[in-house]
Every structure is written in structure tokens, then in C-alpha cells.
Amino acid sequence: LTSMIRGLKDFGFYFLYMALIAARSFGFVSSSSMPALHQNMYQYWIAPILSVGPLWLRFVQVMKKMDETGDIQPHIGNGIKYALAQVVTLSGIYNPSLQHNPVWIASFIVATLYSCFWDIFMDWDLLRWNGRSLKLRKHRLYQHRSFYYAGIAMDLMLRFLWTTSMLPANFKHHLTQMTHSSLVGVTPFFELAEIFRRCMWGVFRLESEQVKFNREQKRMARALSSTYDQAPWVHAHDGPLVLEQTPLKVSQGGSKIVAKVVMHHLIVTAVSVLLMASAVAIVHGHQAFGCAAV
């Protein structure tokens, strides 16, 4: 849900616009007051709720899981990730003057880098500190190291794009030096980039879980073999127990899972593009309305 913040904000902008059109047709709102009313309602109510709501829900879920399991780590660290994103987003929306403040900009960068850190070190378990330097973990399913390094670089870049999607349009204009019409044009590509990042995140997360499963299976097999060899009823002439392990079809099973993930994201991409095209057409078709989405 946190990856859909930009789409939720676009839908909220569109829904509020249509609601005000309906209110005007019934005489509840005048045409002259619609632009200012829409801008105030969207900027100070709709956009903050839709921007922070998914982050707050994930924060509550993480804290609830920590309470149920009794484990502080890694849940408290995961909760900090969502808490930082909420603080940066709300402060940027309600106090636009902070967007030029070095402290706020530093907070924005720290929150994004922390999310990248959590992806790479915790969710994917990709990098390990060996006492002198950072290296990829020893056990991996994919052969080429460049695949993992490319994933790390892409996650860093796309994370910054995802974070900017939660910020007001005036800050994105200041950050990218792009006009409003240009920002509207590239927004669908930002959405596609986030869907791609989520798909990539799922692939690396599945790979990490498969590696953990394989390692645990080998550990259990060794423990069972050792227990059998030390049992008093095992005669010397029987020899050690040889466990016949059925090799896991990692490539086949993993390929099926990855295919399902990719198919799911392709469907979401198609729906997102259609919604974005409709929203852009509506906004450009009513330029006299005079409102721009935050």
C-alpha cells in the first residue's frame, strides 16, 4: 500500500474535483470559490491523509507484531523507517518553508537512505560486514555478482523517486527545476519506476528466503545424521547414516514465483497507466479550473 501513495493522491485529487463539481451543480458551491476550496481541502486534508495513512498503517502493524512476538529487533528498526517517512512528509506539506531548510533536506536524505539500508541489509540480507569491508553474502542463488550490485544501485535511485512522490509539487519543482506540466508528464514514469522497484524487491526477498530455507534444511540434515550415528542401537557394521536429500527445484519453483510476481505487477501497471491517463486528460480538459495537484 505504501507504494501506491502517488496513485492514491491522484485518485483523491480526481475524486475531490468530481465531488466539488457535483456540489456546484446542486448549488452548494459557487464556481468562483471552487479553485481555492479545492486547493485548500486537497493540500491540507486529502494529500496529508493519503500520504501518511499507508505509512501509519504499516507502522502500527510493525508495532503490533513486536508486541505479539516480544522481539524488539528487527521490528523497532522497521518501525523507525515508517516513522521517519511520516515526519518528513508531514513537515514538508504543512510547513512548505522548511523545504528550503538544510535540516529538512538532510532529514529527507536520511529517511531515504535508511529505507535503502533496510532493503539491502535486512530485507534482502545482501551485504555483510566481514570486519574490514562490506561484501555480498556467501550463499547466493544467482551466479553473477553484477546482478546484485545493479539491484543495490537501482534500489538507491528508485527509493529517492518514491520518496519524492510523497512530497508537494512545489518542492518537486524546486528539486528538479521542472515545470508543472513537465512534472505531470513524467509522473506516470515515476509510477512505473516504483512498480519496477517493488517487483525487484520481491525477487531479492524471495531469493533471500530461499537461501535461508536451503541453509536450514542442510543444518537439520546434519543434525539428524549426527543424532542417528550417536544412537546406542546403531551397530558398528551398519555404517553411518547417509541421508538422501531430494534436491530442491529452486530454479523451477523460483521461476514460477517470480513469474507470478511479474504478472501481478504488469496488471497493476496497466491499471495505473489507465488511471493516470484518465486523470491527466481530465486535468488538461479543465485547465480553467486553475488547481494543481500537490
**For residue range 187-236, what is the model confidence (pLDDT) as tens digits?**
677 778 888 898 899 999 999 999 989 888 888 888 777 665 555 545 44
Residue 270 grid coordinates: 496497466
State the average pLDDT over residues 256-268: 64
Taking the C-alpha atoms of residue 195 and residue 294, their distance in angstroms, rounded to an integer, is 21
Examine the pLDDT at 155 and tell me if it is beyond 60.
Answer: yes
More confident residue, 3 or 50: 50
Examine the pLDDT at 115 and tell me if it is beyond 80.
Answer: yes
Q: Under a CB-based contact definition with an 8 Å cutoff, are residues 154 and 161 in contact?
A: no
User: Alpha carbon of 274 to those of 162, 193, 228, 267: distances in Å?
Assistant: 20, 16, 61, 11
What interhelical angle do 102-117 and 75-94 show, nearest 10? Answer: 150
Q: How confident is the model at residue 245 (pLDDT cuts 50, 70, 90)?
A: very low
Q: How confident is the model at residue 119 (pLDDT cuts 50, 70, 90)?
A: very high
Per-residue pLDDT, 14: 84
Q: What is the reported pTM?
A: 0.70
Per-residue pLDDT, 62: 92
Examine the pLDDT at 248 and tell me if it is beyond 90.
Answer: no
Per-residue pLDDT, 113: 93
Q: How confident is the model at residue 290 (pLDDT cuts 50, 70, 90)?
A: very low
**Secondary structure (3-state) at 136:** strand
More confident residue, 74 or 95: 74
Q: Under a CB-based contact definition with an 8 Å cutoff, are residues 50 and 12 in contact?
A: yes
Per-residue pLDDT, 108: 85
Residue 42 class from Cβ within 10 Å (0-12 exposed, 13-18 middle, 19+ buried)?
A: buried
The one-letter code for the residue type at 267 is: I
Q: How confident is the model at residue 268 (pLDDT cuts 50, 70, 90)?
A: low
User: Alpha carbon of 174 to those of 84, 108, 110, 164: distances in Å?
Assistant: 22, 14, 19, 11
Q: Under a CB-based contact definition with an 8 Å cutoff, are residues 189 and 178 in contact?
A: no
Examine the pLDDT at 128 and tell me if it is beyond 50.
Answer: yes
Q: Under a CB-based contact definition with an 8 Å cutoff, are residues 169 and 183 in contact?
A: yes
What ranges make up the beta strands (E) of the chain? Answer: 127-129, 134-136
Neighbours of 120 (CB within 10 A): 19
What interhelical angle do 145-164 and 102-117 show, nearest 10? Answer: 140
Average pLDDT of the chain is 76
